[in-house]
Amino acid sequence: MSLSVRAANGVEIPQLGFGVYKIKGKNGLFEQTIREAIQAGYRHFDTARIYGNEAELGRVIANSGIPREEFFLTSKVWTTDLGEERTRRAFEQSCKKLKTTYLDMYLIHFAGPGYVEAWRALERLYEEGRVKVIGAANFEIEHLEQLRKHAKIPPMINQVETHPLFQQQPLREYMSHHRILHEAWGPLGQGNVSLLDHEELRSIADRHHKTVGQVILRWHLNRNSIVIPKSSNPKRIKENRQVFDFELSGEEIDRIAQMDTGRRSSVNPNGIQVNPLYVKLTRLFLNVQNLQ
């Protein structure tokens, strides 16, 4: 079983996807992980050019025996490729590596310098039918406001760090008002022990005979968020999909709401700056990818 949410343009997006950040191809682990995920029923896969695994993901999907149109593929343009023409070239490189002529969703990875110009490239790609859904990742309200001022096509989705300890309520309210979907990355707190061992969550999990991770994912789904958990453990890959056979009560949702600390587990994207050395190193990394 799977659920979907509808973007402002009517496109259905599978609500439970699979993230591939930091899953590498050493000793065949990446390919084995993706095959396990496909076998478990995942069809929505989230990658990015900077992750360095688009080509491996594309290869596994192409060899899966499942038609391309049954998959929902997302990638992202990195901060060193922002700008109208650079973004277009980065998109073409991602499609080539993923062995596809189109992407289901394409996002601006961070609101770095040139993101407004990059948005023009996404609008063109959308108008050409090369992307079904366009949006952002790690954008704060001020970034979305700036984008909306210059956009012909408003952003349809924003992928941001979200979990019970960092619930993003003000941003969610803004996005809901402007019909921008919420997608949660790091939905399990990136292995944060204070989250996965939280007394409230363990109590709720015991009541439903589920794991804490399953309760957290059910909470995300109840909020109508798209969620992209990541794991290379076959048992957890399957467990993360076993979240459609129970519901959280209103009282349990209220208890989880009280857990919000307002503290991130990862980088604060607000006012991100890319220094010249970092730009040089990441461009070198991406150029090496292009040669592979």
- How far apart CA 86 and CA 176 sit, in angstroms, is 31
For residue range 61-80, list pLDDT tens digits in order: 999 999 999 999 999 999 99
> What angle is formed at CA 165 by the lines to CA 164 and CA 166, rounded to 5 degrees?
90
Burial class (CB in 10 A: 0-12, 13-18, 19+), 109: buried
* Spatial distance between the Cα atoms of 226 and 46, rounded to a whole number of angstroms: 11
Q: Which residue has the tokens 């292995």?
A: 191
pLDDT of residue 225: 98
The confidence score (pLDDT) of residue 292 equals 46
CATH superfamily of 4-291: NADP-dependent oxidoreductase domain (3.20.20.100)
Tens of pLDDT, residues 105-138: 999 999 999 999 999 999 999 999 999 999 999 9
Rounded CA-CA distance 229/16 in Å is 8
Q: What is the pLDDT of residue 269?
A: 81
Q: In angstroms, how far is CA 240 from the centroid of its own chain?
A: 16
pLDDT digits (tens, 9 = 90+) for 214-228: 999 999 999 999 999
Please give the pLDDT value at position 273: 47
Enumerate the domain spans of the chain.
Answer: 4-291
What residue has token string 């896969």? 45
Cα distance between residue 133 and residue 9, in whole Å: 8
Q: Mind giving me the DSSP string for the chain?
A: ---EEE-TTS-EEESB-EE-TT---GGGHHHHHHHHHHHHT--EEE--GGGT-HHHHHHHHHTSSS-GGG-EEEEEE-GGG-SHHHHHHHHHHHHHHHT-S-EEEEEESS--TTHHHHHHHHHHHHHTTSEEEEEEES--HHHHHHHHHH-SS---EEEEE-BTTB--HHHHHHHHHTT-EEEEESTTGGG-HHHHT-HHHHHHHHHHT--HHHHHHHHHHHTT-EE------HHHHHHTT--SS----HHHHHHHHTT-----SS---TT----HHHHHHHHHHHHHHHH-
| Residue 292, both tokens | 């592979």
- In this prediction, residue 96 carries a pLDDT of 98
- Among residues 98, 174, 134, which one has the least CA distance to residue 9? 134
Q: Which of 21, 42, 51, 102 is catalytic?
A: 51
Per-residue pLDDT for the chain (292 aa), expressed as one digit of tens each?
A: 669 999 999 999 999 999 999 887 677 899 999 999 999 999 999 999 999 999 999 999 999 999 999 999 999 999 999 999 999 999 999 999 999 999 999 999 999 999 999 999 999 999 999 999 999 999 999 999 999 999 999 999 999 999 999 999 999 999 999 999 999 999 999 888 889 999 999 999 999 999 999 999 999 999 999 999 999 999 999 999 999 999 999 999 999 999 999 999 887 887 554 555 555 556 565 665 554 4
Q: What gap in Å lies between CA 180 and CA 122, rounded to an integer? A: 16
pLDDT of residue 236: 96
In angstroms, the CA 225 to CA 175 distance is 11
Is 51 catalytic? The answer is yes
